[in-house]
Chains A and B, each alone.
Chain A
Amino acid sequence: MKTHYGIYGGQYVAETLMAPLKELEAAYESAKADPAFRREFEEILREYVGRESPITVAKRLTEHLGGAKIVLKREDLNHTGAHKVNNTIGQALLARRMGKRRLIAETGAGMHGVATATVAALFGMPCEVYMGALDVERQAPNVERMKMLGATVHAVTEGSATLKDAMNEALRDWVANCDDTFYVIGTVAGPAPYPEMVRDFQSVIGVEARRQCLERFGRLPDEAIACVGGGSNAMGLFAGFVDDADVRLVGVEAGGKGIATGEHAASINGGRLGVLHGSKTMLLQTDDGNVIDTYSVSAGLDYPGVGPEHCYLHDIGRAEYSVITDDEAIAAFDALCRFEGIIPALESSHAIAEAIKRAPKMPKDSIILVNLSGRGDKDMENVKRYKESHK
């Protein structure tokens, strides 16, 4: 199994986790080769998640911008309201296959926590979710959803009390309980095999979108754009197009108040090489190698590292990574609401904002595919508060 992407990735974990990681690698290899596993995964995606998710031409937004056609991949229409569930179903199936009885997860915005709590209920497994105490406050509706689904939510108060600290606590739980516990990581970060495994489970996004573009437009998009925190929805989208050299892949990092202010979460654009949570990756850190508290209006992008394969795609020039600020993301959020009747997640609004920047400079017969990774119901309060404080 591939553990590194160029100089990135790897398994930088405590020795106690090496045995469970090797067990996981072996189980995943065997599951991948088993058609029954694939069949069950696809059946649940179809009958429970409601896949495939459609693509939608954003007609009025496209007309308004007067350039490239903007096409949305509608992961917001999945059960639970985001792409996260594609991955949690895959990992829960694997957990069951491995005989693990208990699921744990970290969550930032709460979408991955909700998606894990959902599959735990579906599979009848106990579930504990670690969430930074700040995020528990920022994303209260998702905390309620997780509880309603039967999960226990632990508010993590130490460190910066955000996603990275939640992940630290989940790792501590896993180290102590790895015999019977499966750690469901929500993004393409963490030690191998997680980055590859999560990408594979999310690749359904890109594989579907590619086919849908060919069916609907008779051609591939010119650009495929997705937001990048850890980077799972982007990796899922890119997976469908990475071999199509003519399709430009664009990841969008959270610029927060702007890279120059230092208050952002743009690891590739503003970080330097480091090691956190099991992988070598671009990392937001101090000169002394301590991890910096990140900032973004979008809790789901608020992570100081990024998936190792993104760093690699960036290095080899296969994907480019741009930055969208809070203000630009909020403006894109509004635009999609008003022009298309779709309330996007603040995370996905970063990708929309990038498309809004690019579309007017591109010819009308070109196509930009944007991954609308989640819906924005969870963000209503935040957007309201943001606008009130930025009048």
Chain B
Amino acid sequence: MKNRIKNAFAKAKKESRGAFVAYLTMGYPTLEASEAAADALAEGGADVLELGVPFSDPFADGGVIRSAAYRALENGVALKDVIALAKRLRTRHPQTGIVLFSYYNPVFSMGLERFADAAADAGIDAVLSVDLPYEEREELLAVLRPRDIGYVPLIAPNTPIERVGDSADGVGDSFLYVVTVKGTTGARTELPSDLSARLEAIRAVSPIPVAAGFGISTRAQADVVSRHADGYIVGSALVRRLGEAGELKGEMLP
């Protein structure tokens, strides 16, 4: 067991901070630029990288990530390219957690066994599929488990607390991705007022680390979240900054 994700969260905890989980859409603005940005994030303090796979129908995403996905598709970037990129990142960043973040169809379409072999070969630690809830995930987990690849479950604002334990069960080396708001991905000026209590409640029942995402774009928001969760996820804000500047540097990180 490599347990890179578990170790990444443990390391952050030891340093009395929330783990920084960084999302990027791979292939945006170009495949090379997204790879360089992932390197910059890993070197600049990201504990876990989420590598977003572009998809033609990104129905759970807000404007920033959708635009990035469409551009990445125009650049000809597909799941197999993101897996190959993950393999290169793995050789350069042996300790960083790497999560492959995808809609389900590209993964399913590749053939689940074939996908799982490729992901294992690339050194991917866990997979997150936006549209694969607890009820449907077993077929994917069945190919991930024997290869020691984890699965990252999403917890929504309206997920009953009884369901959190089930969602976190049997997912291997992973964390719970707590969605802070109902809606699509993207920066919000304000996070919900009951978020702290909700995160504490989830943390109380979760056997794996808990990280919050959707809407987090500033250091201040990350700090607030880190008081009540084991980590925070930043996506759209990074994708936007990368798109504007063409590269990511240390000072652009929250």
Q: Which residues of A contact B (CB under 8 A)?
A: 3, 10-16, 18-20, 158-159, 164-165, 167-169, 171-172, 175-179, 272-278, 280, 283, 285, 287-291
B60 touches A14 (CB 8 A): yes
Contacts of B113 in A (CB 8 A): none
Q: Which of B56, B131, B158 has the most CB of A within 10 A?
A: B56
A291 touches B136 (CB 8 A): no
Contacts of B184 in A (CB 8 A): 172, 175-176
User: Given contacts A16-B158, A19-B160, A171-B59, are A11 and B107 in contact (CB under 8 A)?
Assistant: no
A167 to B60, CA, bound (A): 11
Q: Report which of A167, A179, A287, A289 forms a contact with B105, defined as CB distance below 8 A.
A: A289
B156 touches A14 (CB 8 A): yes
A136 to B254, CA, bound (A): 41
Q: Please provide the chain B residues from 118 to 159 with a CB less than 8 Å away from any CB of chain A in the complex.
A: 130-136, 153-159
B79 touches A289 (CB 8 A): yes
Interface size, B (range): 35 or more
A to B CB contacts below 8 Å, 23 in the list: A10-B135, A12-B132, A15-B153, A16-B156, A16-B183, A18-B135, A18-B156, A19-B156, A159-B70, A168-B57, A172-B184, A175-B60, A178-B182, A275-B105, A275-B108, A280-B108, A283-B105, A288-B79, A289-B55, A289-B105, A289-B107, A289-B110, A291-B56
User: Does chain A have a CB within 8 A of B80?
Assistant: yes
Q: Report which of B105, B109, B156 forms a contact with A15, defined as CB distance below 8 A.
A: B156
Contacts of A167 in B (CB 8 A): 59
Total residue contacts A-B, CB cutoff 8 A: 114
Q: Report which of B66, B106, B154, B179 forms a contact with A290, defined as CB distance below 8 A.
A: B106
B59 touches A11 (CB 8 A): no
B80 touches A288 (CB 8 A): yes
A272 to B55, CA, bound (A): 17
Q: Report which of A13, A19, A276 forms a contact with B158, defined as CB distance below 8 A.
A: A19
Contacts of B36 in A (CB 8 A): none
A290 touches B131 (CB 8 A): no
A158 to B62, CA, bound (A): 12
User: Given contacts A164-B57, A172-B59, are A289 and B109 in contact (CB under 8 A)?
Assistant: yes
Contacts of A158 in B (CB 8 A): 66, 70
Contacts of B130 in A (CB 8 A): 14
Minimum C-beta distance from A265 to chain B (A) = 16
Minimum C-beta distance from B150 to chain A (A) = 17
A288 to B114, CA, bound (A): 13
A176 touches B182 (CB 8 A): yes
Per-residue contact bits, chain B 43-55, to A (CB 8 Å; 1 contact, 0 not):
0000000000001
A178 to B181, CA, bound (A): 12
A20 to B160, CA, bound (A): 12
- Taking A16-B182, A19-B158 as given, write out 10 further A-B residue pairs in contact, using a Cβ cutoff of 8 Å, ordered by the A residue number: A12-B133, A14-B59, A16-B179, A159-B70, A168-B57, A168-B59, A177-B182, A178-B182, A289-B108, A289-B109
User: Given contacts A178-B182, A290-B55, are A274 and B70 in contact (CB under 8 A)?
Assistant: no
